[in-house]
């Protein structure tokens, strides 16, 4: 449908002029009807406006502009396009933007006398800078462009420029490690025994052909920091009994300046593992701090909450006046800029806000000599890889790089292969995904949201006064909904999700940590990096989208040597996760409900049946569900067609769960 031409303002909001429109829509459009020129009425008045009059040679034409330039063409509140109309006397109307990613153009309709149209076209092209690209090329320039490009020479020139660039930076010292005599005296058998007894530590070179020898672990803090008594005093003030496995094996490598990949579950002391060596790294460089040109340490984290948690840990271990700043979206940008320009040695940041301040030339990352990619797997899951790569381009290549992760997916390996130098990998525990063993895990089964809500309310009734709970949900709206329901019942709680203001999110976590509230309703924004030691329960109201998130949710409890309990409610839409959950429960030595086993078997039957139908050319569709969940028709309980689970002839009470299901006629489950 063509846009109306009777609009006296030529509203740029009108869209829809077809791309194929051209001069054939000219003066022969003089039949009756809206949008025609039979009465000589132009957009500026009756007959005497620039578009009015009888017998004038009124034509129509189109031109294309880049869709990204439409706003520049229209101007603020349409002021620019109105000025073009006034100066040229032509009618200018913006058509509908193209949805084709290969043709990102928008059609602009021009109407008036030929001279007016030409004037309007010239004004638009000059304003958008298109005339520069339409100029007749210089023959000599064309001849130069036709010459063959020597890509090998270009690469050499680039490498030479980079070499000169990095040669101008201050010298760097990375090795501060001297092996303690007690560590040096450990035999190979003792080393292997220590690793086996401490969560089965596995150490290897990332490059199997690397000649780098494997280092022995430090079983005591004095083994790692005997040369740095102030560090020992800082650690002693926190009253830690001994290094955690990731610290014991990671510190020798980090203190000797090697790149390290630490793969360990949440709550295993990874933050302290990279934090203590970074203090020593900062304090022992030959160049004075004020002459280094910027911060020395950069810690990248995937979420604001994790960044704030790391910043809190840094402030806890004050060491020789080292200053830090936490930079994240949603925080006070002006204050962050003020702190950075005042001078800091450590920056803890999320990738987006860091790139923002780097582009604004507030932060110069060329001075970074110690880089930490914390929770690298989560950053890749959240799509931060392009931002990370952009940041790393400007950091000196001889830096020391530390990467921590809870899992070991191909994306993390690719990142390590590209941006780390001969790294060592330290795995804590099994290489397979595993939940924290200090958490007791229960699984309940529900047929819908109403039953899930009853489970939750029954659970709240059984809480003790000293319990703290995080309830994980899958949607932001559901978090607010449950929090509102609890408030109406005079239950004090807080909620946290991505749509809440950062100050509200910080206050919610502070209230839970201080005990002002005992219940936190959260989305997966709280599944990593939230270090609150006395969480007693995790309640998975909505089962997570993947089994990795399940592990991270469960890891919010049972931290710092304490025990905890995780309760998960599963519905039919979650049956695709049953197989992976069984492996997690089995690895942790937990009870596996029969219902969960049956659910996994039914899902497998359904997938096998779909594959058979697919091979036969089809019939029914494939059900729904990303990540292998959802979809399929037939009974939830037995997997057969022709009836729903409530009418299943095999019977069985609803909501059976591990550790005593709710069941019709049965008592409430005890956790």
- pLDDT band (50, 70, 90) for residue 641: low
pLDDT above 80 for 147: no
Taking a C-beta distance cutoff of 8 angstroms, is the pair 443, 599 a contact? no
pLDDT number for residue 48: 44
Average pLDDT along the chain: 81
Taking a C-beta distance cutoff of 8 angstroms, is the pair 566, 439 a contact? yes
Taking a C-beta distance cutoff of 8 angstroms, is the pair 112, 58 a contact? yes
pLDDT above 60 for 431: no
pLDDT above 70 for 211: yes
- pLDDT band (50, 70, 90) for residue 638: low
Higher pLDDT, 614 or 66: 66
- pLDDT band (50, 70, 90) for residue 538: very high
**341, HSE (Cβ side, Cα atoms, 13 Å):** 10
- pLDDT band (50, 70, 90) for residue 436: low
pLDDT number for residue 362: 93
pLDDT above 60 for 18: no
What backbone torsions phi and psi does residue 202 show, to the nearest 5 degrees? -120, 125
**Domains detected in the chain:** 23-134 (3.30.1370.10), 181-427 (3.40.50.300), 439-592 (3.40.50.300)
pLDDT above 60 for 228: yes
Higher pLDDT, 556 or 189: 189
pLDDT above 60 for 13: no
Q: Distance between CA atoms of 260 and 422, rounded to whole angstroms?
A: 9
Taking a C-beta distance cutoff of 8 angstroms, is the pair 653, 664 a contact? yes
Higher pLDDT, 271 or 529: 271
Question: C-alpha angle 556/558/559, rounded to 5°?
Answer: 75
**381, HSE (Cβ side, Cα atoms, 13 Å):** 19
Work out the average pLDDT over 43-51: 43
Work out the average pLDDT over 483-490: 89
In the chain, % of residues over pLDDT 70: 77
Higher pLDDT, 502 or 553: 553
Q: Distance between CA atoms of 54 and 663, rounded to whole angstroms?
A: 85
Higher pLDDT, 652 or 348: 348
Taking a C-beta distance cutoff of 8 angstroms, is the pair 576, 606 a contact? no
Work out the average pLDDT over 307-336: 91
Taking each helix axis as running N to C, give the angle between helix 114-128 and helix 79-88, from 0 to 180 degrees, rounded to the nearest 10: 140
Q: Which of 62-66, 311-315, 351-355 has the lowest mean pLDDT?
A: 62-66
In the chain, % of residues over pLDDT 90: 44
pLDDT above 60 for 529: no
- pLDDT band (50, 70, 90) for residue 560: low
pLDDT number for residue 646: 53
Distance of CA 96 to the CA centre of its chain: 33
Higher pLDDT, 329 or 258: 258
pLDDT above 70 for 21: no
pLDDT number for residue 199: 84
pLDDT above 90 for 296: yes
Go through 49-68 and write b for each residue having 16 or more CB atoms within 10 A of its CB, e for each that does not.
ebbbbeeeebbbbbbebeee
Taking a C-beta distance cutoff of 8 angstroms, is the pair 402, 415 a contact? no
pLDDT above 70 for 239: yes
What pTM, to 2 d.p., does this model score?
0.57
pLDDT number for residue 41: 42
- pLDDT band (50, 70, 90) for residue 19: very low
pLDDT above 60 for 210: yes
Q: Distance between CA atoms of 508 and 179, rounded to whole angstroms?
A: 45
Taking a C-beta distance cutoff of 8 angstroms, is the pair 426, 284 a contact? no
Work out the average pLDDT over 613-627: 51
Higher pLDDT, 615 or 137: 615
**Which is it for strands 370-373 and 439-445: parallel, antiparallel or unpaired?**
unpaired
Work out the average pLDDT over 345-360: 94
pLDDT number for residue 650: 57
Select from 391, 396, 318, 328 the least CA-distant residue to 358: 391
pLDDT number for residue 97: 53
Q: Distance between CA atoms of 188 and 186, rounded to whole angstroms?
A: 7
pLDDT number for residue 429: 73
pLDDT number for residue 325: 96
């Amino acid at each position: 449908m063509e846009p109306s031409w009777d609009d006296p303002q030529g509203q740029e909001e009108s869209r829809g002029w077809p791309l194929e429109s051209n001069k054939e829509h000219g003066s022969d459009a003089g039949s009756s009807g809206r949008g025609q020129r039979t009465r000589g009425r132009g957009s500026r008045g009756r007959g005497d406006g620039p578009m009015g009059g009888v017998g004038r040679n009124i034509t129509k034409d189109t031109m294309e502009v880049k869709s990204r330039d439409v706003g520049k063409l229209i101007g603020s509140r349409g002021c620019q396009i109105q000025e073009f109309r006034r100066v040229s006397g032509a009618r200018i109307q913006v058509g509908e933007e193209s949805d084709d990613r290969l043709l990102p153009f928008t059609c602009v309709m021009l109407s008036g006398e030929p001279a007016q149209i030409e004037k309007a076209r010239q004004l638009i092209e000059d304003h958008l800078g298109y005339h520069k690209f339409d100029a007749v090329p210089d023959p000599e320039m064309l001849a130069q462009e036709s010459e063959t490009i020597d890509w090998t020479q270009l690469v050499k020139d680039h490498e030479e420029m980079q070499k000169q660039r990095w040669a101008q930076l201050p010298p760097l010292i990375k090795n501060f490690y001297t092996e303690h005599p007690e560590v040096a005296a450990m035999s190979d058998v003792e080393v292997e025994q220590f690793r086996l007894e401490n969560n089965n530590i596995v150490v290897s070179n990332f490059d199997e052909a690397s000649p780098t020898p494997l280092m022995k672990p430090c079983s005591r803090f004095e083994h790692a920091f005997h040369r740095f008594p102030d560090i020992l005093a800082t650690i002693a003030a926190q009253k830690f009994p001994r290094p955690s496995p990731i610290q014991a094996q990671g510190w020798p490598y980090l203190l000797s300046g090697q790149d390290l990949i630490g793969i360990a579950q949440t709550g295993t002391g990874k933050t302290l593992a990279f934090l203590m060596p970074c203090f020593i790294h900062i304090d022992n460089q030959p160049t004075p701090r004020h002459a280094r040109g910027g911060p020395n340490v950069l810690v990248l984290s995937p979420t604001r909450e994790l960044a704030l948690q790391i910043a809190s840990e840094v402030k806890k271990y004050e060491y020789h006046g080292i200053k830090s700043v936490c930079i994240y979206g949603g925080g006070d940008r002006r204050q962050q800029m003020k702190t950075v320009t005042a001078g800091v040695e450590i920056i803890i940041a999320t990738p987006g806000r860091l790139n923002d301040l780097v582009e604004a030339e507030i932060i110069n990352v060329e001075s970074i000599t110690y880089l930490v990619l914390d929770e690298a797997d989560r950053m890749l899951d959240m799509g931060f890889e392009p931002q990370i790569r952009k940041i790393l381009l400007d950091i000196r290549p001889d830096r020391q790089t530390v990467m921590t992760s809870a899992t070991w997916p191909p994306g993390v390996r690719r990142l390590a292969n590209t941006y780390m130098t001969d790294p060592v990998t330290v795995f804590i525990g099994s290489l397979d995904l595993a939940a924290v063993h200090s958490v007791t895990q229960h699984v309940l089964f529900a047929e819908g949201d109403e039953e899930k809500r009853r489970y939750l309310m029954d659970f709240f009734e059984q809480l003790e006064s000293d319990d703290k709970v995080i309830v994980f949900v899958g949607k932001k709206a559901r978090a607010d909904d449950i929090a509102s329901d609890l408030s109406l019942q005079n239950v004090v709680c807080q909620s946290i999700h991505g749509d809440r203001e950062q100050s509200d999110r910080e206050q919610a976590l502070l209230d839970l940590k201080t005990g002002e509230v005992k219940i936190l309703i959260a989305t997966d924004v709280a599944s990593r990096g939230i270090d609150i030691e006395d969480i007693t329960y995790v309640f998975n109201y909505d089962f997570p989208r993947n089994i990795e998130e399940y592990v991270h949710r469960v890891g919010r409890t049972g931290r710092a040597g304490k025990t905890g309990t995780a309760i998960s409610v599963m519905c039919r839409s979650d049956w695709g996760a049953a197989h992976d959950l069984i492996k997690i429960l089995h690895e942790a030595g937990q009870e596996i409900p029969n219902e969960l086993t049956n659910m996994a078997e039914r899902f497998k039957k359904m997938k096998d049946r779909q594959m058979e139908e697919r091979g036969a050319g089809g019939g029914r569709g494939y059900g729904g569900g990303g990540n292998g969940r959802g979809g399929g028709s037939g009974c939830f309980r037995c997997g057969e067609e022709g009836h729903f689970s409530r009418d299943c002839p095999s019977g069985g009470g609803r909501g059976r769960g591990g550790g005593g299901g709710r069941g019709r006629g049965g008592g409430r489950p005890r956790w």
